[in-house]
Structure 1
Amino acid sequence: MPAPADAAGGRGQEQPPPAPQRRLIIAITGATGAVYGIRLLQVLRETPGVETHLMLSEAGVLNLHQELDMNRKDAEAFADVVHNVRDIGASIASGSFQSDGMIVAPCSMKTLAAVAHGLSDNLITRAADVVLKERRRLVLMVRETPFNLAHLRNMTAVTEMGGIIFPPLPGFYQRPQSIAEMVDHTVGRVLDLYGVAHSLTPRWNGIRAG
């Protein structure tokens, strides 16, 4: 039997579905270092084919104001999709939601503890739990110093579950000239973990001869 003509008058041919967008879930919580989450969102917004899903904790919003003179709407403007941290029924709360993983930038010790113990007490920790159970990549940019034993044990627990603990520690071997360069170096290293192309920082080519 001949194939039916399509709407344009040609032979009917089933079109392949569009390639799925890459999706990254970003959470900003109440540790110092809100700039890391904002810079991630800024870079990903300019990266073709990446859809960002953002959550802000209440303490995270306070830090945005304290550290960057930004409010909730300022931060949300950088994301493709925004979720209320109390909306436990959101799409990202289900393993059927396809994503490349999740970054908590920065990650408070409270959020770390909740993830380590599987509490899923809000959408941030539920989404992190989903990422872990689906064997996707979870990066926690933990910010505290010094660490106590509870912090260290929680970081070990998350690592054993497959998460990546990524304290945003600046590197000085590239001789950064500004805080912005140090932030970009760290953000670039995080994006490397997801295979997201960027030009935020030069690549290390070995020690130069003296």
Structure 2
Amino acid sequence: MIILAMTGASGVIYGERILKALRGAGVRIGLMITDTAREIIRYELGIEPGALEELADECFDAGDFTTSINSGSSPFRAMVIAPCTMKTLSAIANGYAENSLTRAADVCLKERRDLVLVPRETPLRSVHLENMLRVSREGGIILPAMPGFYHKPASIEDMADFIAGKVLDVLGIENDLFRRWTGKDI
């Protein structure tokens, strides 16, 4: 199972596109949506969070410390946080497991499982960069929401799919969410 967590940053489209890509790849998905992310889903995507929860195999509450993914004995293989707020990044970087989401991320790092963070903030302060470096040094993957343009995106969905494809790439999941660079395009 791959855990996908969506936090309260702008850019919930990234989480939505990753969720749909994982579903399309036949991956078992555990979904966690924070309360603030629920509001942003309504605002930015114009849908109810339940529409995304229907795509998951299992849903987790960020406030429930009794959930299985809070333990290293839980068999999930990876966690993606998209979008990832700077608050969530800071908590993970500093070992502050204030909720089930940050505890599950802590489990990933201590168990050496894949943890992919898709931070969505600009510009970045030095402390943001330091927190990203700290997580990276512990084995986490920092995959900023910085879409490429060599694939000539025609829509916002194309740009979000570029990031979703990169997330699936680092998880070792084959996908064709964007046209890959061949070097012959110029």
User: How high is the TM-score relative to the length of structure 2?
Assistant: 0.96
Q: 1:79 aligns with which of 56, 68, 71?
A: 56
Offset at residue 80 of structure 1 (A): 0.7
CA contact (8 A) 1:87 1:123 kept: yes
Q: 2:23 aligns with which of 42, 45, 68?
A: 45
Partner of 2:72: 95
Residue pairs, 1:1-210, within 5 angstroms: 23-48=1-26, 50-208=27-185
Q: What amino acid is aligned across from residue 31 of structure 1 in structure 2?
A: A
Deviation above 6 Å: which 4+ runs of structure 1?
none
Gaps of 5+ in 2: none
Q: What amino acid is aligned across from residue 90 of structure 2 in structure 1?
A: A
Aligned to 2:28, what secondary structure does the other structure show? strand
Offset at residue 137 of structure 1 (A): 0.8
Deviates more, 1:121-130 or 1:143-152: 143-152
In terms of Rg, which structure is larger?
1
CA contact (8 A) 1:103 1:138 kept: yes
The 2-side partners of 1:208 and 1:160 are apart by 35
Q: Percent identity?
A: 45
CA contact (8 A) 2:151 2:180 kept: no
Kindly indicate whether structure 1 or structure 2 has the higher relative contact order, using CA contacts under 8 Å at least 6 residues apart. Answer: 2
CA contact (8 A) 2:89 2:132 kept: yes
CA contact (8 A) 2:109 2:140 kept: yes
* Alignment root-mean-square deviation, CA: 1.1
The 1-side partners of 2:42 and 2:116 are apart by 24
CA contact (8 A) 2:114 2:140 kept: yes
Q: What amino acid is aligned across from residue 105 of structure 2 in structure 1?
A: A
Aligned to 1:180, what secondary structure does the other structure show? helix
Aligned to 1:27, what secondary structure does the other structure show? strand
Offset at residue 52 of structure 1 (A): 0.4
The 1-side partners of 2:132 and 2:178 are apart by 27
The 2-side partners of 1:208 and 1:193 are apart by 24
The 1-side partners of 2:114 and 2:21 are apart by 19
Offset at residue 201 of structure 1 (A): 1.3
CA contact (8 A) 2:3 2:80 kept: yes
Offset at residue 176 of structure 1 (A): 1.2
Partner of 1:14: none
CA contact (8 A) 2:7 2:34 kept: yes
